[in-house]
Copies of this chain bind each other. A is one copy, B any other.
Amino acid sequence: MTGLVTIVGLGPGEPRYLTPAASEALASATDLVGYGPYVDRVPERPGQHRHASDNRVELDRARFALDLAMNGAHVAVVSGGDPGVFAMAAAVFEAVENGDPAWRSLDIHVEPGITAMLAAAARVGAPLGGDFCAMSLSDNLKPWEVVEARLRAALAADFVVALYNPISSARPWQLGAAFKIVAETRGPDTPIILARAVMRPDERIGILPLSQVEAAMADMSTMVIIGASTTKLIERPDGKAPYVYTPRFYGVRP
Contact residue range for chain A? 35 or more
B18/A19 in contact, CB under 8 A: yes
B153/A234 in contact, CB under 8 A: no
Neighbouring B residues of A142 by C-beta, 8 Å: 249-251
Out of B112, B135, B152, name the residue touching A122 (CB < 8 Å): B112
Neighbouring B residues of A41 by C-beta, 8 Å: none
Q: Is A35 an interface residue (CB 8 A)?
A: no
Q: Which 5 A-B pairs have the closest CB atoms?
A: A90-B129, A142-B250, A153-B157, A89-B126, A93-B245
A131/B136 in contact, CB under 8 A: yes
- Chain A residues 212 to 254 lying within 8 A of chain B, measured CB to CB, are 232, 234-238, 240, 243, 245-251, 254
In the assembly, what is the distance between CA of A115 and CA of B152, in Å?
Answer: 26
How far does the Cβ of A126 sit from chain B's closest Cβ, in whole Å? 4
Neighbouring B residues of A112 by C-beta, 8 Å: 17, 114, 118-119, 121-122
B133/A154 in contact, CB under 8 A: yes
Majority DSSP secondary structure for residues of A touching B: mixed
Neighbouring B residues of A94 by C-beta, 8 Å: 245, 247-249
Out of B15, B159, B232, name the residue touching A20 (CB < 8 Å): B15
Q: Are A89 and B129 also in contact (CB < 8 A) when A84-B121, A119-B112 are?
A: yes
Neighbouring B residues of A108 by C-beta, 8 Å: 125, 243
Residues 132-143 of A, flagged 1 when their CB comes within 8 A of B and 0 if not, give 111110001111
Neighbouring B residues of A89 by C-beta, 8 Å: 122, 125-126, 129, 245
Q: Is A96 an interface residue (CB 8 A)?
A: yes
How far does the Cβ of A79 sit from chain B's closest Cβ, in whole Å? 11
Interface centre among A157, A159, A236 (most CB of B within 10 A): A157
Neighbouring B residues of A140 by C-beta, 8 Å: 254
Neighbouring B residues of A31 by C-beta, 8 Å: none
